[in-house]
Amino acid sequence: MARTSDKRDKLLDAAKALIHRQGFYRTTLADIAKESEVPLGNVYYYFKTKEEILTAVLEQRWRRLQLTLDACCLGEPRNNLIQLVRIVSKSSSKIAEFGCVIGSLCQELDKSQSDMRLSADRIMHAHIDWASRQFKAMGLKRPTEKGFELIARLEGILLLGHALREPALIKKQLRATCDWIRSL
């Protein structure tokens, strides 16, 4: 028999995958139960509502982002920024198929009056703040603007690559983004 935390983790993993593939509002608790192979009745033991699952998913995404950004801060700021772009590039096929995990969720939640959109926005702002700090450490003028510019470039590339279902386009434009960072 699976331990309590194992079932909860299975539910969260299933929820993350489904929300990324089909969106939060199209994902049902029954979908999550089926994907995780946890009986639907057991889902309610761990999460009373779909919104509780989303809160847990966003918290996991937040922690993962922190780990990713920490891993990108092991060198010179310019290289840190390039490392972030390379990490994104590794997911280009999945992004072309389903879109950016955070960008898509921000777009979907922003269309609602849900407080959950603030949690998703927090993740996007963390990317911008981190990039701005890297540009500041490089000694560039207007580092906050550069941080916004980088994340806007990335999100635009990912949105276009997803809309056109073109992982090669994503990779090409991310290489151009690395060249832009090197030129600064």
- Could you tell me which of 87, 107, 90, 105 has the C-alpha nearest to residue 20? 105
| Residues 69 and 43 both lie in one domain | no
Owning domain of residue 43: 1-48
Look at 20-34, 100-114, 144-158 and tell me which has the smallest mean pLDDT. 100-114
Q: Which run of H or E residues covers position 18?
A: helix 4-22
Question: What is the mean pLDDT of the segment spanning 137-155?
Answer: 98
| Residues 75 and 137 both lie in one domain | yes
| Residues 9 and 78 both lie in one domain | no
| Residues 26 and 70 both lie in one domain | no
Query: What is residue 73's predicted lDDT score, i.e. its pLDDT?
Result: 85
Whether 55 is in a domain gets the answer no
Query: What is residue 60's predicted lDDT score, i.e. its pLDDT?
Result: 92
Whether 56 is in a domain gets the answer no
pLDDT tens-place string over residues 80-108: 999 999 999 999 999 999 999 999 988 88
Query: What is residue 99's predicted lDDT score, i.e. its pLDDT?
Result: 95
Alpha-carbon distance of 22 to 178, in angstroms, equals 30
| Residues 39 and 94 both lie in one domain | no
| Residues 11 and 93 both lie in one domain | no
Whether 117 is in a domain gets the answer yes
DSSP 87-149: HHHTTHHHHHHH--HHHHHHHHHHTS--THHHHHHHHHHHHHHHHHHHHHHTT-SSHHHHHHH
Whether 115 is in a domain gets the answer yes
Length of the chain: 184
